[in-house]
Amino acid sequence: MSPSGNPGLGHVPCVEKAAAGSLSGLMALSDLVTTCLSPPVHYVICKLGFEKKDTYDINNILSENGEVCWQAVTEHVCYLESDQSVDYIKSIRSLGPVCESVNLHLKSLTKEQFVTQYALWFRWTNCTELFLEVFDVLQDTETTEVALGLMKLTSCLERALGDVYLLIGKDCPFLLRDLLASEQLAVVFGQAVMNVLRVFIGSPYGLNLRNVLWHGFASPQEIPAKYCAMLLFLTAGLGQLLQTYLMQTKCILAHRPYVTFVSLDELGVFPDLNHETFSIAEELVKLSSFVLKTMLPFWMAALTAFKQSRYADCVILLLPQLEVGLRLLFTTTNKCPNRLLTAEPSALYTTFDEMLAKHLDNEEVNQLPAVLQEPAMEFLWDFLNHQEGPRIRDRLSHGEINLEAFPREVANQIVAFAITLLCRFSDEDMVAFKEHMVIKPLMNCASCYRSQFHPISRLKKQVLKCMKSIHLWPELPTVPEEHIQMIKGLEGNAEASTLILMISEIVSQLQQYMPQNFYSSDDRIDSVLTERLLIELCDTHICTLYSPRPVLEAVVVFRKISTQCHQVSEKVIASTELRYKQWMNKTLRSRQRHNYLRMLNSIKFLSPVLRLILVLITLELVNVHLVSKKKPFEYQQYLKFLKSILQYTENLVTYTSPEKNKWDETMELTNKTLIRIRNISDRKLMLMQLAT
Residues with Cβ within 8 Å of 143's Cβ and at least 6 positions away in sequence, in order, are 220, 221, 223, 225, 297
Average pLDDT over residues 606-613: 95
Domain boundary among 413, 447, 481: 447
| N- to C-terminal Cα separation, the chain | 63
pLDDT digits 0-9 by tens, 286-312: 989 999 999 999 999 999 999 999 999
Average pLDDT over residues 149-156: 98
How remote is the C-alpha of 338 from its chain's centroid? Answer: 28
CA–CA gap between residue 591 and residue 610 (Å, rounded): 27
Q: Please say if the pLDDT value at position 64 is more than 70.
A: yes
DSSP letter, residue 250: T
Q: Determine phi and psi for 46, rounding to 5 degrees.
A: -95, -20
The model's confidence at residue 18, banded by pLDDT at 50, 70 and 90, is: very low
The verdict on 391 and 514 lying in the same domain is: no
Please give the C-alpha separations between residue 276 and each of 106, 272, 283, in angstroms, as whole numbers. 41, 11, 11
Tell me what pLDDT residue 9 has: 37
What is the three-class DSSP state of 147?
A: helix
The verdict on 110 and 194 lying in the same domain is: yes
Tell me what pLDDT residue 592 has: 83
Tell me what pLDDT residue 27 has: 64
Burial of 232 (0-12, 13-18, 19+ CB in 10 A): buried
Q: Please say if the pLDDT value at position 263 is more than 50.
A: yes
Domain boundary among 428, 447, 466: 447
Q: How many domains does the chain have?
A: 3
Q: Determine phi and psi for 62, rounding to 5 degrees.
A: -130, 120
Residue 468 lies in a domain: yes
The verdict on 474 and 341 lying in the same domain is: no
Q: Please say if the pLDDT value at position 370 is more than 70.
A: yes
The verdict on 421 and 344 lying in the same domain is: yes
- CB contact at 8 A, 201 and 28: no
User: Which is nearest to 658 in space by CA: 539, 577, 604, 586?
Assistant: 577
Tell me what pLDDT residue 222 has: 95
The verdict on 168 and 83 lying in the same domain is: yes
Tell me what pLDDT residue 229 has: 97
Domain boundary among 182, 216, 249: 249
Q: Please say if the pLDDT value at position 57 is more than 70.
A: yes
Residue 17 lies in a domain: no
Residue 33 lies in a domain: no
**pTM higher than 0.85:** yes
When computed from its CA atoms, the radius of gyration of the chain, rounded to whole angstroms, is 31
CA–CA gap between residue 391 and residue 507 (Å, rounded): 40
CA–CA gap between residue 9 and residue 36 (Å, rounded): 8
Q: How much is the mean pLDDT over the chain? A: 90
Residue 40 lies in a domain: no
- CB contact at 8 A, 329 and 33: no
Q: Please say if the pLDDT value at position 494 is more than 90.
A: no
Tell me what pLDDT residue 691 has: 77
The verdict on 425 and 383 lying in the same domain is: yes
Alpha helices in 291-358 (DSSP H): 296-307, 311-333, 352-355
Alpha helices in 334-407 (DSSP H): 352-355, 368-372, 374-380, 392-397
The verdict on 463 and 442 lying in the same domain is: no
The model's confidence at residue 16, banded by pLDDT at 50, 70 and 90, is: very low
Residue 660 lies in a domain: yes
DSSP letter, residue 49: G
Which residues span the domain enclosing 478?
455-691
pLDDT digits 0-9 by tens, 65-117: 889 999 999 999 999 998 889 999 999 999 999 999 999 999 999 999 999 99
The verdict on 362 and 233 lying in the same domain is: no
Tell me what pLDDT residue 479 has: 75
Residue 32 lies in a domain: no
The verdict on 636 and 680 lying in the same domain is: yes
CA–CA gap between residue 527 and residue 519 (Å, rounded): 5
- CB contact at 8 A, 88 and 81: no
- CB contact at 8 A, 569 and 469: yes
The verdict on 323 and 418 lying in the same domain is: yes
The verdict on 414 and 276 lying in the same domain is: yes
- CB contact at 8 A, 663 and 655: yes
pLDDT digits 0-9 by tens, 204-228: 999 999 999 999 999 999 999 999 9
Tell me what pLDDT residue 483 has: 61
Q: What is the DSSP string of 618-683?
A: HHHHHTGGGGGGS-HHHHHHHHHHHHHHHHHHHHHHHHTSTTT--HHHHHHHHHHHHHHHHHHHHT
The model's confidence at residue 32, banded by pLDDT at 50, 70 and 90, is: confident
What is the three-class DSSP state of 141?
A: coil
CB count, 10 Å around CB of 638?
A: 21
Average pLDDT over residues 311-328: 97
Residue 34 lies in a domain: no
Tell which wins on pLDDT, 366 or 83: 366
Residue 535 lies in a domain: yes
The model's confidence at residue 520, banded by pLDDT at 50, 70 and 90, is: low
Tell me what pLDDT residue 3 has: 34
User: How many alpha carbons fall within 13 Å on the CB side of residue 51?
Assistant: 15
Tell me what pLDDT residue 590 has: 81
Q: Please say if the pLDDT value at position 13 is more than 50.
A: no
Average pLDDT over residues 522-544: 87
pLDDT digits 0-9 by tens, 671-682: 999 999 999 999
The verdict on 294 and 337 lying in the same domain is: yes
Q: What is the DSSP string of 199-226?
A: HHSS-TTS--HHHHHHTT-S-GGGS-HH
Q: Please say if the pLDDT value at position 489 is more than 60.
A: no
Tell me what pLDDT residue 7 has: 38
